[in-house]
Each structure stands twice: as C-alpha cells, then as structure tokens.
C-alpha cells in the first residue's frame, strides 16, 4: 500500500485539494473541501490536513481542536471517488488519533455520521468508535475513547 501522510494545505496545493470530490451519490454525506476550508478560515480551532497516498492528494480531514473544552471532534473526513476502500481512510484516521493524543486533556474523539444510504458509520465502528445513542443535527454520534 502507498504511504499515507497528513500534510498541510499550501497555496501551491489548495486547488488540488479542492478538486478532490466524493462520488455524486455521496455528496449528502460530507461538505465539499472548498466549504470546509472556508469554514476553517473563520474557526481558529479548526485543524485540517490533506490526506496523501505517497505524493498524491487523495482526501481531506478536519478536526475541531479545542483543548479548553477537551473536545476533539472529527468535523470532516473524505477520500476522493476512486481512492476509497484502499485502506487510506483507516490509516489517515490512525494518524489523526496520533495527533489528538499529543493534545492537552485528550480523552476522546467524537464524530457524527449521516444515517443515510452509503453512511460511513460501519467504517467508524470498524475502527473502534462506539455509538453514543445521541443524534445531533440529524447525525448519529459516535465516540472513540483514547
Ligand atoms: C468513509 C471513508 C472516509 C472511509 O475511507 P476509506 O479509505 O474508503 O476506508 P478504508 O479503505 O480505510 O476502509 C477501512 C474499513 O472500513 C470499511 N468501509 C469503508 N467505507 C465504508 C462504508 N462507507 N461503509 C461500510 N464500511 C466501510 C472498509 O470496507 C474497510 O473494512 P475492512 O478493514 O473490514 O476491509 C470514505 O469512504 C469516504 O470518504 N466516503 C464518502 C464520504 C464520507 O462518508 N465521509 C465521512 C463523513 S463523516
């Protein structure tokens, strides 16, 4: 498998990251990367990276990184159409967990999953996330204890 890394988005790479899209029938599951980067611009607690397989950008991941609230929320995650189901998502999530473990008061990561066709809930559960029983803004909430 290619080596997966999380890299900062730069002015040289931002267009290639924005060009990464999920399949059309998955567009209800995650916001476009341009939207996520725009939201991050106004949210100082947003921490985001492009997901690379070797030197190719293949996806995007964004965390709400709030040590004051000891709240680490996996805000966005996507692998582009054609780059899914290759193990990149799991590896990228492992790297995100490694990062969160370095942060103050980190005890858990939460994520919300849209409970519709193509839902990524099984992906998160396979990783070790457990449903909390809560539904927030229509999303099923899951938690990973660190
Ligand atoms: C969900 C997503 C991030 C997973 O990344 P990925 O690189 O495709 O996943 P991986 O190849 O690392 O898969 C890891 C495991 O999860 C499983 N899996 C991946 N996506 C799945 C899905 N949507 N439903 C069920 N299982 C899934 C894989 O089969 C694999 O299982 P295995 O280890 O038993 O073989 C990616 O498919 C994606 O971007 N989907 C569309 C957008 C989306 O749903 N984003 C999440 C928003 S919260």
Per-domain boundaries in the chain: 4-145
Q: Taking residues 14-25, report their average pLDDT.
A: 98
Residue 20 pLDDT greater than 90, yes or no: yes
Own/partner long-range contacts of 31-38 (Cβ < 8 Å, ≥24 apart): 31/76, 33/60, 33/78, 36/60, 36/62, 36/75, 36/76, 37/9
What is the pLDDT at residue 115? 93
pLDDT of the residue at 68: 87
User: Domain spanning 4-145: which CATH class is it, in words?
Assistant: alpha beta
pLDDT for residue 36: 98
- Ligand 1 atom 3 nearest Cα: 78
Residue 70: predicted pLDDT: 83
In short, whether 126's Cβ falls inside 6 Å of ligand 1 is yes
pLDDT 10s digits, 31-74: 999 999 999 999 999 999 999 999 999 999 999 999 888 889 99
87 CB within 6 A, ligand 1: yes
Output the six-digit token pair for 75: 């805000």
% of the chain exceeding 90 in pLDDT: 96
Mean pLDDT of the 86-91 span: 98
Q: What is the pLDDT of residue 130?
A: 98
Return d(Cα 90, Cα 4) in angstroms, integer: 10
The atom number, within ligand 1, closest to the CA of 85 reads: 11
**CB distance 78 to ligand 1 below 6 Å:** yes
DSSP 66-114: EGGGTEEEEEEEEE-TTSTTSSHHHHHHHHHHHHHHTSTT--EEEEEE-
Mean pLDDT over the full length of the chain = 97
Distance in angstroms (rounded) separating the CA atoms of residues 112 and 4: 24
Q: Which residues of 39-69 are buried (b: 16+ CB within 10 A; e: fewer)?
A: ebeeeebbbbbbbbbeeebbbbbbbbbbeee
């Amino acid at each position: 498998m290619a080596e997966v890394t999380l890299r900062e988005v730069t002015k040289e790479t931002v267009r290639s990251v924005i060009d990464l899209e999920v399949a059309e029938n998955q567009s209800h599951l995650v916001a476009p990367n341009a939207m996520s980067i725009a939201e991050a611009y106004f949210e100082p607690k947003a921490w985001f990276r492009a997901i690379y397989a070797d030197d190719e950008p293949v996806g995007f991941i964004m965390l709400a990184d709030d040590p004051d609230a000891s709240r680490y929320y996996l805000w966005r995650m996507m692998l582009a159409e054609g780059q899914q189901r290759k193990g990149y998502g799991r590896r990228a999530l492992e790297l995100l967990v490694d990062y969160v473990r370095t942060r103050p008061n980190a005890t858990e990561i939460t994520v919300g999953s849209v409970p519709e066709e193509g839902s990524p809930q099984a992906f998160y559960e396979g990783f070790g996330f457990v449903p909390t029983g809560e539904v927030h803004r229509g999303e099923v909430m899951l938690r990973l204890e660190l």
